[in-house]
Amino acid sequence: MQCNAENLQMYLDGELEFQARKSLETHLGQCRKCRQEMARLQLLWRELEQTEEKELPLELSFLGQQIIHQALSTRQKNMYSKAGYWEAQKLAWKPAIIGAGYLPGVTLLSAAGRAASNQLPRLKSGVFAMARKLIFPAQDKKGGA
């Protein structure tokens, strides 16, 4: 049997037929990579199954309104500053971001962010190389553009 993440997911969902289940269980006994992926999926399922609702602090709504009011009054004082609006938006969203920290599964987002940030330098260099090709196209040997 070949490694197949979709089969692992179907195994966890109970969608595999008897023979396919037995084949996958045998494969899991031999393949370390698939065992690790299965463990990761099982942890993910356990975390997502947690339906414990956390109660948000009562003052969160009040703090949000205070921050918006303060930011808007600051914006009116600095009428000619375009940064005032964006500062107000950043301040207004802070309570929501803090509140989101209480939601289950947020730890998965931070892990995904760390994984994505590891790939950013490679992506950035690729984008810059592509932009250079578009902005400064190679000239042909006769000197024409």
pLDDT at residue 94, rounded to an integer: 79
Contact between 17 and 25 (Cβ < 8 Å): no
pLDDT at residue 120, rounded to an integer: 66
Instruction: Give the span between the Cα atoms of 139 and 40, in whole angstroms.
Output: 51
Residue by residue, DSSP assigns 2-61 as ---HHHHHHHHHT-S-HHHHHHHHHHHHH-HHHHHHHHHHHHHHHHHH--PPPPPPTHHH
pLDDT, block means (10 residues), the chain with 145 residues: 83 88 89 89 82 75 81 67 67 75 62 66 71 69 51
Instruction: Give the span between the Cα atoms of 106 and 77, in whole angstroms.
Output: 37
pLDDT at residue 1, rounded to an integer: 67
Nearest to 13 by CA among 58, 125, 99, 5: 5
SS3 103: coil
Instruction: Give the span between the Cα atoms of 27 and 138, in whole angstroms.
Output: 52
pLDDT at residue 89, rounded to an integer: 75
pLDDT at residue 96, rounded to an integer: 74
Instruction: Give the span between the Cα atoms of 26 and 48, in whole angstroms.
Output: 27
Instruction: Give the span between the Cα atoms of 31 and 49, in whole angstroms.
Output: 27
**21: Cβ–Cβ under 8 A, 6 or more apart, which residues?**
11
